[in-house]
Structure 1
Amino acid sequence: MAVSSRQNQNMMNLIRKVHGLVERPDLTKHRQSQDRIGAILGTEKGIAYEETEVDGMSCEWVKVERAHLKRYVILYCHGGGYSTGSMVYARTLTTKLAESTGMDVFCFNYRLAPECKFPAAAEDAMKAWNYLMYLGYGARDVIVAGDSAGGNLALSLTLKLKDEGRMLPRGLALMSPWTDLTKSGKSYQTRSSVDPVLDHEYLDRMIENYAGGMELTNPYISPLFGKLEGLPPVYIQVGDNELLLSDSTQLHKNLVKADVSARIDIYKGMWHVFQMSPLKNAYDAMNKIAEFIFDICR
């Protein structure tokens, strides 16, 4: 059933209120609120959550408790502006990913800003990648996925692997990726009044926390400015009511220009990482990600 514009506006108002309750200037409380939401809304029956540690870094396997495809694995980079978020909060996404693909999902708690600025998160992403290689997965057995800052991290990791001459993952699945910390896209103006999740004040705070005083066009900080030639297939999902819309549409254009196989789906009336919500659109979007992954794994 189609959602009317009024219903959609009501939903966005609700999302705005919920996000306001979670987001707090006190980062510790903000992080705790997110973890509570992840534990309540993300944890499902029929899914196993197995904690492990990699070189002092907390990590989590999310696995369906049924016969499933174990040849491939999804390395998941959580969002949160590089200052918040965790593997528990990410269960609102990793659980859906495990269910829709039948694949094991590996998520990790990278070090957060402002306590640990760039390149701490990028170093931890490489640590997680190297751990999967140590377990015996080949690079082509891994799909790297992420939302928001996690989409940035997924791209940054892949660019680093490419620059080091290493084998690249089979593909990238990105939800509302934050690719441009210079905020140069048109949507930063055209969507600022409608985005129920993000605003300029929040983004500026996250940028300062993570990369204050650094060159924001550094491709490992803003992958939009990276040399994208040779990257594996990329699938992008973004809502058309979000501040970061341009981060996705321009990334897609740059990927196509670099002759990379790239697809983008822009979801009308949707907001930043809407896939977290318990909505039909969210489950449909996850099924689209599963289709992309199955397609590149054939």
Structure 2
Amino acid sequence: MRKTQGKDNVVHSGTRHHHRGRSPQSMALTAGCRIIVKNAVRLWALQPNLHWPFDSIDRIAGWAPHPPAVSIRRVELPTCPAELVCAPGTSARRAVLYLHGGAFLTCGLNTHRSLVARLSSAADAEILNVGYRMFPSYGPSAAVADALDGLRWLLRRGYRDHEIVLAGDSAGGYLALATALELLHRGRTPTAGVVAISPLTDLDSAHRLAQPHSRCSMFTARAMTAFSRYLTAQRRGRFNRRIVSPVDADLENMPPVSIHVSTDEFLLSDAELMYRRMVDAGAQCDLHLWDGQIHDFPLAADILPEGRRALRYVGDFVKRVTPASVEDAVARDYARAASL
């Protein structure tokens, strides 16, 4: 544990957790990703502007049955769809706004419904899963705007800022961090915390490519370079409004952050750099390092024991940073009744 002095002489800490050992399921999944996913990513790197079949992935995932006994309510935000997901037995004393991964290009509500349902149970929380706008029509700034619309919806539902956590995986991890920073930029009260799973935190790929990541089972150096160039081209075009790297922002007033990442993936350096910048800024950050996992491994929690364990840690973090009181519950119930 590393401790620093923050504002008003309050001691903040950064804590690293190293999770060793691999399940047989993890080894099999890694081998499968090397054959299927890594080769698909290689093909994308040759033609980054090719959006099919990536824009079909979420549609195909929609054919899967919904998680059993889970309450799923369709929500229409001003510019995008969302789902309110609540696992059986959840008290709904707190909420998570979830932003899916997919390189700002793919995935959506369908691909992440099972993960969100598991997180609802682990965190004892309602989850607003946001199907934010993506490339090629919209950039990350539009996705952050959609996340802010989702937060407004949760506030109207009766939740307060200190009862809400922002969360996301991969590109969604970037968006969760960027949304918290946008709240601070606007002088707004930040949420209770942020969860980032295998997050992109630096839009400059130089430090990432300098690291040896031949063990990554999903991405190649060429693919990461192509993605960086694609994102840079979009930033220089019509999507250049406040697209920032979280690692380069003023992090002093950030809420507590919990990061989970594999030690074998390309975005390990992004996670470690974000952790160091958070701690150096005097903010609270927990970094969980998982040996031998694929990128964004909690997404495979249905078959992966490590993914289920990681989501339990995420749930514990959400509950820790969102202590509920009787007064909060009464105010929330009143707001919900008034909205009926």
Give the TM-score taking structure 2 as reference length: 0.78
- One-letter code of the match for 2:29? M
Give the match's secondary structure for 2:235: coil
Moved more, 46-55 or 165-174: 46-55
Query: In the alignment, which residue of structure 1 is the partner of 2:30?
Result: 12
Q: How does 1:132-151 map to 2 (within 5 A)?
A: 132-151=154-173
- The 2-side partners of 1:54 and 1:213 are apart by 25
User: Do structure 1's residue 157 and structure 2's residue 179 form an aligned pair?
Assistant: yes
Identity in percent = 24
Determine which of 91, 96, 101 is the counterpart of 1:79. 101
Give the match's secondary structure for 2:64: helix
Note closer, same or farther for the CA distance 1:70–1:200 as it changes in structure 2 (3 Å cut): same
- One-letter code of the match for 1:134? R
- The 2-side partners of 1:149 and 1:180 are apart by 11
Query: In the alignment, which residue of structure 2 is the partner of 1:256?
Result: 279
Query: In the alignment, which residue of structure 2 is the partner of 1:190?
Result: 211
Query: In the alignment, which residue of structure 1 is the partner of 2:143?
Result: 121
- Higher relative contact order by CA 8 Å / sep ≥ 6: 1 or 2? 2
Q: Give how far 1:102 is off.
A: 2.4
Moved more, 7-16 or 164-173: 7-16
Determine which of 60, 68, 73 is the counterpart of 1:45. 68
Query: In the alignment, which residue of structure 2 is the partner of 1:93?
Result: 115
Q: Give how far 1:90 is off.
A: 1.4
User: Do structure 1's residue 273 and structure 2's residue 296 form an aligned pair?
Assistant: yes
Query: In the alignment, which residue of structure 2 is the partner of 1:31?
Result: 55
Query: In the alignment, which residue of structure 2 is the partner of 1:234?
Result: 257
Q: How many residues end up aligned between the 2 structures?
A: 294
- One-letter code of the match for 1:237? H
Contact 2:67 2:114 in 1 (8 A): no
Contact 2:261 2:289 in 1 (8 A): yes
- One-letter code of the match for 1:242? E
- The 2-side partners of 1:150 and 1:59 are apart by 14
> Can you list the C-alpha shifts for 1:107-126, whole angstroms capped at 9, x where unaligned?
11111112212422122222
Q: Which runs of no fewer than 5 residues in structure 1 stay unpaired?
A: none
Note closer, same or farther for the CA distance 1:51–1:217 as it changes in structure 2 (3 Å cut): closer
- One-letter code of the match for 2:305? K
Determine which of 85, 88, 92 is the counterpart of 1:70. 92
Note closer, same or farther for the CA distance 1:239–1:282 as it changes in structure 2 (3 Å cut): same
Contact 1:143 1:293 in 2 (8 A): yes
> Can you list the C-alpha shifts for 1:140-171, whole angstroms capped at 9, x where unaligned?
11110000110100111110100111011001
Give the match's secondary structure for 1:49: strand
Give the match's secondary structure for 1:61: strand
Contact 2:134 2:140 in 1 (8 A): no
Give the TM-score taking structure 1 as reference length: 0.89
User: Do structure 1's residue 111 and structure 2's residue 133 form an aligned pair?
Assistant: yes
Give the match's secondary structure for 1:70: coil
Give the match's secondary structure for 1:178: coil
Q: Give how far 1:8 is off.
A: 5.4
- The 2-side partners of 1:112 and 1:205 are apart by 18
Query: In the alignment, which residue of structure 1 is the partner of 2:47?
Result: none
> Can you list the C-alpha shifts for 1:8-41, whole angstroms capped at 9, x where unaligned?
5543121233425876744242232344346538
User: Do structure 1's residue 282 and structure 2's residue 312 form an aligned pair?
Assistant: no
Greater Rg, structure 1 or structure 2?
A: 2
Contact 1:191 1:242 in 2 (8 A): no
Note closer, same or farther for the CA distance 1:222–1:245 as it changes in structure 2 (3 Å cut): same
Give the match's secondary structure for 2:135: coil
Cα RMSD for the two superposed structures = 2.7
> Can you list the C-alpha shifts for 1:194-253, whole angstroms capped at 9, x where unaligned?
111123343344444444263799974311111101111111000000001010001001
